[in-house]
Structure 1
Amino acid sequence: MKIVISHNSALEYWRSSTPPQQDSSCTAKARTLDRQQPSLAQIENLGLRQYGVLSEPVHVLARGSKARKPTGKAVHHTSIIELPEGALVGIATCGSGKLYVSSPELCFIQMAGQFTLPQLIELGFEFCGLYSLTDNDPRGFFPRHPLTSIEKLRKFSDRSGGLHGTKLAQRALRFVVPNAASPRETALTMLLCLPCALGGYGLDKPELNFRRNADRRNRRLSDKSFYRCDLCWPERKLAVEYDSDLHHTGSERIASDSRRRNALTSLGMTMLSVTKKQINNYTEFDRASRQIARHLGKRIQPRSKDFVSKQFELRAYLLGRTISPKSGYEGDAPQ
């Protein structure tokens, strides 16, 4: 029997701090679903906690048009169409059956059926970024390599026209930027770059954690062969750094940041910074955003009459989720 963990449970699996497990005997190209829906006893016997699936109800997927009645322990989803290639990832052999999980690409579309557009865009940043959200770390996230890419998500959605959530997923992908290293980088980018109708300032999308190579002269100045810029618009030679409270404090760190900024400035880059205090204060963030816009040669001209209310809606969602009450620490991208 094939049991497929899907939707919220698949998201929990991919957010697990345990390295994702895959069973080579279960082909990742499998896409045919069983018509038989697993019983609650079969689901409970899977030992899903070892795969990072801790919450109930457990979401499972099978083929058909009528699902079993949801319980507090399990939610059964059904699909009447054959899934696209790459929809399922095999993770274990359980007795005489196989355990699968929705791939990040399928999970993204499945969550589109439950998330708002800003939530789905944020999830796209996470899946294509260098971190995963977690409740098991005081920062609220842990670093890891990307689960997928915008190109993979786009190609998969193009083959998934019959799946619920595909259209919203395709719309969300227009606004996703890869390589964010933390939830705060995601929030900052969304606040700056989402269209005004969604509460952003409509700025051009930057490159996140952009690598700027140093020349020989600058290597002598700071002993570094390259630098990472949080948000960068290379064609404008503009870099915006997010300065968290903890990550950029202390005399040694301040001195290191100063050397780094000086080196990047000598390479012709304009360096701007946005602090946690600025992001949290609407007026200060508005000033910082308009300063960034001027350097990009862009005028912020929202046409929507409810622009400010949309801004506050977006801020309430993003900042309420990403502020760490313990430290505000943002962490480093995995190398």
Structure 2
Amino acid sequence: MNCQCHVSSKRFSNSRFIELKDGIFIVGVELCALQAATYLPFRELVEYYFELCGVYSLGTGSSTSYNERFALTSTERLKQFFNSITRCDGLALARKAIQCVRDGCRSPMETAFVMMLTLPKSEGGLGIKGIETDYEVQVTAAAKNLTRRKKFFMDAYLKKSRTDIEYNGLYHDAEEDRAIDEERKNALASMGYGIITVSRYSFMHASAFVRVMEAIQRKESIRPSRLPKDFQIMQEDLRQFVLRRFIEEKKRIQKQLRQDSEDRQQIDLEKATLEGITLDDPTINEVRQSMTCRLSNPTAHHLPK
């Protein structure tokens, strides 16, 4: 078990601790979140808070695997706790980080994209405050004949521009999924909502991602003149950060595929060598032709000595 020990002169109520067994306690989720602010950098802290308030749990190490679960806490509970105390290590950073967090993200990739929208411009984000995740919208009478659904859940809803940001991962290519997406798009459009779709490809490739973010900036009326001088560099740096596990996984897969290909080539070469030929032997055709001629003349084996 990986444990982090902390020493604090601050007194906390018993409700901030969880008793494992007689005389052995661990800190509760909110206090753990505060303590994390004493050693995690800002971006990692925001990412960690997203996980606490989301409905997924990351695997250990650099793995991209995750499990679904109920949210461990909420942004409201964290804010209330942070605002209830004063003069505590990590408190200022914790209060800053929680402002960028939203409830209910369903996967690490959703968290990664929402961080691109909520983090401050000085960090490479768009600094959008009016955004809600897992936002519920009831289908109105005007749209009821356009969809089989009674309600929709938006991955990220931009209140100012009434825009639904939808992240489509690996499993949105099936014909039925595309039909459902089209119904959703038509229904939401009739209800006055705009939709911007973000594919895994566009998130993983820098040039495509810039175009997606430009579309969002226009929807939210974020003028380029109000962005930092080196904003695109900072934005790309942030993209690389939030996708670091996925980028490393892609590199591992590509390396394994190259290794598998090299192994197959080596096996083919060794097999050919054992059979007495090499794959690049220019006389291989001559050998085959000679064998064919000998087999086509069966009397050659019975000539007198």
Measured against the shorter chain, the TM-score band is 0.7 to 0.9
Provide the aligned C-alpha RMSD in A.
2.5
- Please give the alpha-carbon distance, in whole angstroms, between the structure 2 residues aligned to 1:301 and 1:179: 33
Aligned to 1:59: 4
Aligned to 2:166: 241
Q: Displacement, 1:205? A: 3.8
User: What TM-score do the two structures reach when normalised by structure 1?
Assistant: 0.68
Aligned length: 251
Aligned to 1:185: 110
After superposition, give the CA deviation of every residue in 1:228-282 in whole Å (9 maximum; x if it has no partner).
11111245221111111x2211112111211221222222211110111111222
Does 2:39 align with 1:114? yes
Counterpart mapping for 1:38-53 below 5 A: none
Q: Is the 8 A contact 1:201 1:300 kept in 2?
A: no
Counterpart mapping for 1:86-97 below 5 A: 86-90=15-19, 92-93=20-21, 97=22
Aligned to 1:295: 219
Q: Is the 8 A contact 2:103 2:133 kept in 1?
A: yes
Does 2:189 align with 1:265? yes
3-state SS, counterpart of residue 221 of structure 1? coil
Q: Is the 8 A contact 1:187 1:322 kept in 2?
A: no
Aligned to 2:272: none
| Structure-2 change in CA distance of 1:136 and 1:143 (3 Å) | farther
Q: Note the residue ranges of structure 1 that are not aligned, 5 or more in a row.
A: 1-53, 61-76, 328-335
Aligned to 1:81: 10
- Please give the alpha-carbon distance, in whole angstroms, between the structure 1 residues aligned to 2:204 and 2:74: 30
- More moved, 185-194 vs 318-327: 318-327
Normalized per residue, which structure has more strand? 1
Q: Is the 8 A contact 2:154 2:165 kept in 1?
A: yes
Aligned to 2:71: 146
Q: Displacement, 1:206? A: 1.4
- Please give the alpha-carbon distance, in whole angstroms, between the structure 1 residues aligned to 2:142 and 2:148: 10
**Bigger radius of gyration:** 2
User: What TM-score do the two structures reach when normalised by structure 2?
Assistant: 0.74
Q: Is the 8 A contact 2:118 2:127 kept in 1?
A: yes
Aligned match for 1:174, one of 92, 96, 99: 99
| Structure-2 change in CA distance of 1:131 and 1:253 (3 Å) | same
Q: Is the 8 A contact 2:101 2:118 kept in 1?
A: no
Q: Is the 8 A contact 1:177 1:205 kept in 2?
A: no
Aligned to 1:231: 156
Q: Displacement, 1:113? A: 1.3
Query: Of the two structures, which has the highest relative contact order with CA contacts closer than 8 Å and spacing of 6 or more?
Result: 1
- Please give the alpha-carbon distance, in whole angstroms, between the structure 2 residues aligned to 1:117 and 1:136: 19
Q: Is the 8 A contact 2:62 2:245 kept in 1?
A: no
| Structure-2 change in CA distance of 1:148 and 1:223 (3 Å) | same
Identical amino acids, percent of aligned pairs: 28
Q: Is the 8 A contact 1:194 1:202 kept in 2?
A: yes
Normalized per residue, which structure has more helix? 2
Aligned to 2:206: 282
After superposition, give the CA deviation of every residue in 1:4-37 in whole Å (9 maximum; x if it has no partner).
xxxxxxxxxxxxxxxxxxxxxxxxxxxxxxxxxx
Q: Displacement, 1:105? A: 0.8
